[in-house]
Amino acid sequence: MTSASSSRCVDVIIAAWNRSQTIERAVLSALAQSEVQKVIVVDDGSCDETGEKVTRCDPEHKRVILERLQTNVGPAAARNIAIELSTAPWLAILDGDDFFLPRRIERIFSYASDCDLVADRLLQVPEHHIDALHAARVVGGTFSGPQRLTLEQFVRGNIRKRRAGLRQEFGFLKPLIRREFLDKHGLRYDPSLRLGEDYALYAQALAAGARFLLVPTAGYVSVERPDSLSGRHSKADLERFRDSDRRLMARGALSGRERRALAQHYVSADCKIQWLTVIEGFKSRSIKDFLLPFWRSPRISLYLLGKLASEFSDRSLRLLTARSWPVR
């Protein structure tokens, strides 16, 4: 390991689209970290004052680089642009509506040693509870010590098991990434993805032999917003995300356990896609399109039947509660 690659110097990269209400908080929280060399913001075709707000954070342009895009290219492509503008041996990922608590990066570096990716468990809070960090949900498990993540563990940690509540998948983590490792293996974000781009990059890194350490909460605050991009996606977005597993399985030598984990994650994403297909068939009154997804696999059939039962139950409950019953 070279002295440059082991130095505690970080460029923070932020891909932001229409985040004028939160971008200053994000940028200033990064600038407050003593290890941060530059904050690189790619304004991804915003139509609000995101760029202007970024400029206010560093009027003399000493530590903030702002790249304005004329059209929206998506978070993956925007982050790739930021990576090419960076020069520090470490990269830190920050979303435009999230922020760092003081000394977050210092705490993470205390664990970094020989790792290629180091992520702390996120503090996840709804936007309307932003001041109640003591009640934040921790993403990445409840155990307190550092944990080395394998590809199998990481992939299985991205299969959502609960229907409601704040998201808990490992793909939401925002690690410090050793730039040398990305360059050595030719890794960048997949620009075709507008959903799950973090998951795909981390999985590729682990498949290439990355040492990924998950550490206790250090101070990344993930703000759950009603207009979050992760909560809005099309069927095509889901299909591209699902197919990233297939591309990874086709790449190098993977163990049987790793392949089974990827296959399970693929089916998990496909379940959501087939549910959208069922909805489309129902709306178009096409019996064939409605029924076809049920024949893909027994697991998908069970998932779809469960979704239909849940939808029927929810609609029945709404109808009952909407009635005005006479008082006897």
Asked if the structure places residue 326 within a domain, the reply is no
253 shares a domain with 136: no
Query: Mean pLDDT over residues 253-281, rounded?
Result: 94
Contact 158, 169 (CB under 8 A): yes
Residue 268 is predicted with a pLDDT of 94
Average pLDDT value for residue range 118-139:
75
Q: pLDDT of 140-158, one tens digit each?
A: 655 568 999 999 999 999 9
In a domain, 327, yes or no: no
CB-based contact 289:280 (threshold 8 Å):
yes
280-306 mean pLDDT: 93
Task: Please report the pLDDT score of residue 4 as a whole number.
Answer: 40
- Last residue within a domain, chosen from 181, 210, 231: 231
Rounded to 5 degrees, φ, ψ at 28 are -65, -35
Whether residue 138 is found in the same domain as residue 264? no
Residues 110 and 241 in one domain: no
The answer on 190 and 67 residing in a single domain is yes
- Over residues 2-7, the mean pLDDT reads 48
On average, the pLDDT of the chain sits at 88
In a domain, residue 102? The reply is yes
Same-domain status, 105 and 177: yes
Higher pLDDT, 237 or 224: 237
User: Strand locations in 34-188, DSSP E?
Assistant: 36-44, 64-69, 90-93, 99-100, 117-120, 122-126, 137-139, 147-149, 176-178
**Residue 95 included in any domain:** yes
- Residue 281 in any domain: the answer is yes
- Do residues 239 and 208 share a domain? no
The total number of structural domains that make up the chain: 2
- Label residue 61 by pLDDT band (50, 70, 90): confident
pTM (2 decimals)? 0.87
Residue 82, domain member (yes or no): yes
The dihedrals phi and psi of 108, each to the nearest 5 degrees, come to -65, -40
The whole-angstrom separation of Cα 143 and Cα 48 is: 41
206 and 127, same structural domain? Answer: yes
pLDDT in tens, 233-251: 789 999 999 999 999 999 7
pLDDT computed for residue 139 by the predictor: 65
- Residue 25 structural domain: 3-231
Q: Which of 20-34, 132-146, 302-316 has the highest mean pLDDT?
A: 20-34
The pLDDT score that the predictor gives to residue 328 is 45
Kindly indicate the confidence band of residue 229, based on its pLDDT and cuts at 50, 70 and 90: low
Other CB atoms closer than 10 Å to residue 145's CB: what's the count?
7
CB burial class (10 A; 0-12, 13-18, 19+) of residue 229? middle
Domain C-terminal end among 231, 265, 298: 231
Q: Flag whether 328 is in a domain.
A: no
* Minimum mean pLDDT range among 79-83, 314-318, 324-328: 324-328
Report the pLDDT value the prediction gives residue 320, as an integer from 0 to 100. Answer: 59
Q: Is residue 302 assigned to a domain?
A: yes
User: Do 141 and 283 have their domain in common?
Assistant: no
pLDDT of 6 strictly over 50: no
Q: What is the pLDDT of residue 160?
A: 74
85 and 178 in a single domain? The answer is yes
pLDDT of residue 319: 59
CB within 8 Å of 50: residues ≥ 6 apart: 16, 17, 18, 19, 20, 23, 43, 96
Q: Which of 193, 213, 231 is the last residue of a domain?
A: 231
Q: Are residues 159 and 300 in the same domain?
A: no
My answer on whether 266 and 197 are in the same domain is no
Same domain, 90 and 121: yes
Query: Residue 136's pLDDT is what?
Result: 58
Q: What is the CATH number of the domain that holds 206?
A: 3.90.550.10
Residue 210 in this model has a pLDDT that exceeds 60: yes
